[in-house]
Structure 1
Amino acid sequence: MAENANTQRTSDSGVSIWLDDLSRTRIESGNLQQLIAERNVVGVTTNPSIFQKALSQVGPYDEQLKQLGRIPVEEAVRELTTTDVRNATDIFREVAEKTDYVDGRVSIEVDPRLAHNTEETEKQAEELWNKVDRSNAMIKIPATLEGLPAITATLAKGISVNVTLIFSLERYKQVIDAFIEGMVQADKNGHDLKHMGSVASFFVSRVDTAVDKLLEANGSDEAKSLEGKAAVANARLAYELFEKAFDSDPRWADLEAKGAKRQRPLWASTGTKNAAYSDCKYVDELVAPDVVNTMPEKTLNALADHGNGAPSVKGTYEESHQVMQKLADLGISIKDVTDKLEADGVAAFIDSWDSVLSDVQKGIDRVNG
């Protein structure tokens, strides 16, 4: 079948469409190749919640679990997840080569229980990179305060990084600085910058979920008029920061001359959680050059069916600043909201990881008698 007109238009507007999902069934059924061919999908992201969903299935992983035998559950999880990511990177190799490794990336996340441990995050990031052993992989590291130096240290080793769980502009600015410093060190360490890559995963819909509750509690007409606007405004201002940060940092001009590629903003958490909003809201309202939008399959299908895909970010910065000012005038602190979202995000991924360990242990016991 031919490429979809709506996903093609979105792609032509500068958005790299990545799928926010991965499973062995999706790989082995040919579905992933089909999405590349028909939906302009050029990358994949995973997280503990995605692997919890995949690894809870009875059947797809039984053969490998039987081969692995009665090994410690954490080792089994490492083998299962890195196998899926390795196989997915092989599927995306042609995309990676055609795009000079801008796309064709598959991300795998460090253990979320390490989110506040710099040294262990750095250590596991390198272990995962070596275990997957594919140049178009990316290692996901959370943008906690403790994660920032781990991001720099991991990049310094020549490892591509997907920085995840970014909610605030303040933290995003720190992430960009950690990225640039990591690339400076990678250059000093003799790594080829041309095929290194990084994205900054800026979470979107969860901001509306949190802010809308505060607006509903306020109950005023002014508050009502702001519902559903905070997340997009926050992300658009992140794009404004992206444009300014790389143009103004003297370190970056030197790196770019050596072939380094900018760390692109990645819109994450783009599935619409409020049924009153368009199911393409966090795609169509965030279309701009040099961004990634990672979508759950439901959102990808909605985009393919009735998405717009036209540019929608540039020219909106003043309006977005006004939204943030109006929220502040109502006593809503975006910093308080985003701080809580970061903490909740780490906790949710830890819960998912605990479920992964439990489900895989059950699988080990089941297939080994």
Structure 2
Amino acid sequence: MNDRLKTLADAGVSIWLDDLSRERIESGNLAALIEEKSVVGVTTNPTIFAGAIANGERYDAQVRQLVADDASVDRVIFELTTEDVRNACDIFKRVADGSASDGRVSIEVEPTLANDTAGTIASAQALWAAVDRGNALVKIPATKEGLPAITAAIAQGISVNVTLIFGTTRYQEVMDAYMTGLEQARDAGLDLGEIQSVASFFVSRIDTEIDRRLDEIGTDEAAALKGKAALANARLAYAAYEEVLASDRWKQLAEAGAVKQRPLWASTGVKSEAYPDTLYVTELVVADTVNTMPEKTMDAFGDHGEVTGDTVTGRAAQAQEVFDRLAAAGVDFEDVLVTVEHEGVDKFKTSWTELTETVEKQMAAARP
């Protein structure tokens, strides 16, 4: 067991791996990460699957069978990815059985549906049914069109990983969508204790965009603010989460058996070499949260990461000061949020294209 990662886990941070492949599943690597690196969950996306399928011979037999059955590329993608997530869920079942909220494996709705509410709901239903594991999570983006889809999925008892959250206002809308779904599920007689959700708040992309704008401003005051926005943003988000937990509305749902929608820190790999490679882990330590990490970031923390206590709770005022200074320096944060959400949706769609092209190549190679 890696002592540094165990210390992080003991501080209440659930360590999830932002990666999955059939190689990890079948070689025993995924099971080893549970035992050796305190990993208690997995997140995936189309780019992750594209890399796994392109580099893994373990998919070849299934691809050949699907090609022989005259399956479309979309069907092949669906079958390959849901099988991996189903098998990963089985590996994490022991963790899920011993935990209120961990042992979860996420699979994403088709990203091209990010602005299509009905399509997102249908995709979530199909993925949930195909994986058929209670410890799965379906990833739905927190776009305006995604919000009602989140409510609808939760109301039907589908556990959801809400992804692509960048700002506190949208995060508040996500929490509202979750609670509305829970209220509908309760009224329909569903067991709220079986419904899980995390809210994936993206971190590093905020610094990337704001640092770029600060460089353009070019003042000493602007330079002094580089690398501060993402952490401040996450800390304000956590304060918003605490407000919801203290609300009468949430307390009523909790009494009915509802499970907290934990904040999940996503995009925690550092994009700038100017910052410590464990920055978005060390500075976001607070109990009952999730940090989903690329293996590179996880290994960096396992090598030299430090837990210095709770680095989030009670820091909202300091975080707001950062945004006040950013505004004074000329950074329009609302425009930043629009920019990063649009870029995020575009990247999601690009990753789907990448996955589609990868699978098409594998299908071509599998044909006689």
Q: Distance in 1 between matches of 2:56 and 2:277?
A: 31
Per-residue deviation, 1:300: 0.4
Q: Which amino acid aligns with 1:334?
A: F
Find out whether 1:142 has 2:137 as its counterpart. Answer: no
SS in 1 for 2:355: helix
Per-residue deviation, 1:246: 2.1
Find out whether 1:128 has 2:119 as its counterpart. Answer: no
Q: Which residue of 2 aligns with 1:280?
A: 278
Larger deviation, residues 173-182 vs 347-356: 347-356
SS in 1 for 2:107: strand
Q: Which amino acid aligns with 1:34?
A: A
Q: Which residue of 1 aligns with 2:94?
A: 94
Q: Which residue of 1 aligns with 2:20?
A: 22
Checking the alignment, whether the CA contact within 8 Å between 2:244 and 2:250 is kept in structure 1 is: no
Q: Which residue of 2 aligns with 1:183?
A: 182
Q: Which residue of 2 aligns with 1:298?
A: 296
Q: Which residue of 2 aligns with 1:362?
A: 361
Q: Distance in 1 between matches of 2:272 and 2:122?
A: 39
The TM-score with structure 2 as length reference comes to 0.97
Q: Distance in 2 between matches of 1:52 and 1:320?
A: 37
Find out whether 1:67 has 2:69 as its counterpart. Answer: no
What do the CA deviations read for 1:21-78 (whole angstroms, capped 9, x no partner)?
0111111111111110011100000112211221222522101111212310000000
Larger deviation, residues 5-14 vs 171-180: 5-14
SS in 2 for 1:165: strand
Larger deviation, residues 122-131 vs 302-311: 302-311
Q: Distance in 2 between matches of 1:103 and 1:110?
A: 21
Checking the alignment, whether the CA contact within 8 Å between 2:42 and 2:105 is kept in structure 1 is: yes
Q: Distance in 1 between matches of 2:333 and 2:244?
A: 21
Q: Which residue of 2 aligns with 1:289?
A: 287
Per-residue deviation, 1:259: 1.6
Q: Which residue of 1 aligns with 2:253?
A: 255
SS in 1 for 2:360: helix
Q: Distance in 1 between matches of 2:313 and 2:123?
A: 38
Checking the alignment, whether the CA contact within 8 Å between 2:217 and 2:330 is kept in structure 1 is: no
What do the CA deviations read for 1:318-347 (whole angstroms, capped 9, x no partner)?
111100100011121111111111111111
Checking the alignment, whether the CA contact within 8 Å between 2:96 and 2:104 is kept in structure 1 is: yes
Q: Which residue of 2 aligns with 1:231?
A: 230
Checking the alignment, whether the CA contact within 8 Å between 2:25 and 2:87 is kept in structure 1 is: yes
Q: Distance in 2 between matches of 1:37 and 1:194?
A: 27
Q: Distance in 1 between matches of 2:94 and 2:223?
A: 48
Q: Distance in 2 between matches of 1:352 and 1:196?
A: 28
Q: Distance in 2 between matches of 1:57 and 1:24?
A: 10
What do the CA deviations read for 1:217-274 (whole angstroms, capped 9, x no partner)?
11111111110000000001100110012212x2211210122111010000000010
Checking the alignment, whether the CA contact within 8 Å between 1:58 and 1:363 is kept in structure 2 is: no
Q: Distance in 2 between matches of 1:130 and 1:251?
A: 30
Checking the alignment, whether the CA contact within 8 Å between 1:167 and 1:342 is kept in structure 2 is: yes
Aligned pairs for 1:150-161 (under 5 A) are: 150-161=149-160
Paired residues, number: 365
Q: Which residue of 2 aligns with 1:320?
A: 319
Q: Distance in 2 between matches of 1:246 and 1:178?
A: 14
Q: Distance in 1 between matches of 2:99 and 2:113?
A: 33
SS in 1 for 2:257: coil
Q: Which residue of 1 aligns with 2:6?
A: 8
Q: Which residue of 1 aligns with 2:164?
A: 165
Per-residue deviation, 1:115: 0.4
What do the CA deviations read for 1:92-133 (whole angstroms, capped 9, x no partner)?
000000003x00000000000000000110111011000000
Q: Which residue of 1 aligns with 2:351?
A: 352
Checking the alignment, whether the CA contact within 8 Å between 2:16 and 2:292 is kept in structure 1 is: yes
Q: Distance in 2 between matches of 1:38 and 1:347?
A: 36
Identity of aligned residues (%): 53
Backbone CA RMSD of aligned residues: 0.9
Q: Which residue of 2 aligns with 1:265?
A: 263
Q: Distance in 2 between matches of 1:243 and 1:58?
A: 43
Q: Distance in 2 between matches of 1:104 and 1:114?
A: 27
Per-residue deviation, 1:86: 0.2
Checking the alignment, whether the CA contact within 8 Å between 1:16 and 1:41 is kept in structure 2 is: yes
SS in 1 for 2:192: coil
Q: Distance in 2 between matches of 1:335 and 1:184?
A: 31
Q: Distance in 1 between matches of 2:296 and 2:284?
A: 18
Q: Distance in 1 between matches of 2:62 and 2:245?
A: 45
Q: Residue 34 of structure 1: which of 32, 35, 49 is its match?
A: 32
Q: Which amino acid aligns with 1:142?
A: P
Q: Distance in 1 between matches of 2:316 and 2:8?
A: 21
Q: Which residue of 1 aligns with 2:197?
A: 198
Q: Which residue of 1 aligns with 2:55?
A: 57
